[in-house]
Structure 1
Amino acid sequence: MLSLAPVAAGDFDEMAAIRIEALRESLERLGRFDPVRARERLAAGFAPEHMRHIVANGQRVGYITLRPASGRAPGALQLDHLYVRPVFQSAGIGAWALDWAKTQAALQEADITLSALKQSAVNRFYLRHGFVQVGESGFDLDYRWHRPRGVPA
């Protein structure tokens, strides 16, 4: 059984560990794995009010961060984090969490934007789930999911 649970400020260390575990392989492939930098990047955007633990059978297995987008995507939601511990990947947990995010976006009549590491398997995941690549930067690919227009939320 899957559910979401609120995040508290004291959950930072656990969430940093999940981020490092989930990103390690992709970052090593790019020659950019640095656990200190991974913690710093999470700390810079740590916003418990926009974060949810992903819980499977009572165990925290990942987390998702969905917040109002700023800058280049006003009126959209930004998916900053969707991390699932590798041992729990490929079991539909990420898809379940992404469906939750899409529901939240549809209720707010918003699209979803996100960035993902180049050369990461997660790029195929987002493409399979209806995201379209809209940009590229040094190490990331930028995506957008468009809420179906004319369909009541």
Structure 2
Amino acid sequence: MSAGSTSAHSPDWTLRSAATADIELIAELRATVMRADLERLGRYDEHRVRQRLRDGFSTRHTSIIVIDRALAGCVTVRPAEGRQWMEHFYLAPHVQGRGLGSAVLRTVLERTDAQGMTVGLNVRRRGVRPGARPATRRRRQRAGGRAGRRAGGQAGRRAGGQAGRRAGGLRLPRPPESRT
């Protein structure tokens, strides 16, 4: 799996398949990225935030985002119920805000569109918080998520780029065996 970006804002990057050895690095990344939001909600548990990722980790469906031969993030796209579910999309804080998340999302959606697959976005129950960075809010909205509202945990994007939302658009079922 290889992808890259030549944007002035986004660094060059590639995707590689995850390996079992990546799980602890990804668990730490998840804990770092989610800590502030989970603390704000009163739900941060140092062990649980890592264990939830370990419980649902799949090397088969997870890609590692690499910049300069170092792990910069990850994304999981797993098939279930006739669609691809995107989840565990985390970027290290030092690479956020430079267009990398948008570039990775664009690549993932182009691949699923080419396969004619519907994409479900599996996000935590509260979705993007109202105080989230504007780029994060726009990226989630482009993928079919709802910013600043209870999104029910998922949103969808049909093949060909049409976005659907749980409230008002395409009504998607809860992701099977969801662990996020």
C-alpha distance in 1 between matches for 2:85 and 2:48: 21
- Give TM-score, length-normalised by structure 2: 0.71
Contact 1:61 1:88 in 2 (8 A): yes
- Greater fraction of residues in helix: 1
The letter of the residue matching 1:67 is: R
Match of 2:71 among 50, 60, 65: 60
1:45-85: per-residue Cα shift (whole Å, max 9, x none)?
Answer: 1100111110123221100100102xxxx211001211001
Gaps of 5+ in 2: 1-11, 162-180
Identity of aligned residues (%): 28
Q: Give yes or no for contact 1:131–1:146 (8 Å, CA) kept in 2.
A: no
Does residue 125 of the first structure (1) align with residue 129 of the second (2)?
Answer: no
Matched, 1:146 2:153: no
Aligned residues: 140
- 2:42 corresponds in structure 1 to 31
| Residue aligned with 2:123, SS | strand
Matched, 1:80 2:82: no
Question: Which letter does structure 2 place at the counterpart of 1:9?
Answer: T
Give the match's secondary structure for 1:49: coil
1:26–1:125 distance in 2 versus 1, CA, 3 Å: farther
- What is the Cα-based RMSD across aligned positions, in Å? 1.9
- CA–CA separation in structure 2 for the residues paired with 1:34 and 1:132: 26
Structure 1 residue 91 and structure 2 residue 98: aligned?
yes
Instruction: Give 5+ residue unaligned stretches, structure 1.
Output: none
Matched letter for residue 6 of structure 1: S
1:109 partner SS: coil
Q: Which has the higher strand share?
A: 1
State the TM-score, normalized to the length of structure 1: 0.82
Displacement over 2 Å in runs of 4+: 119-125
Cα distance in 1 for residues equivalent to 2:145 and 2:49: 26
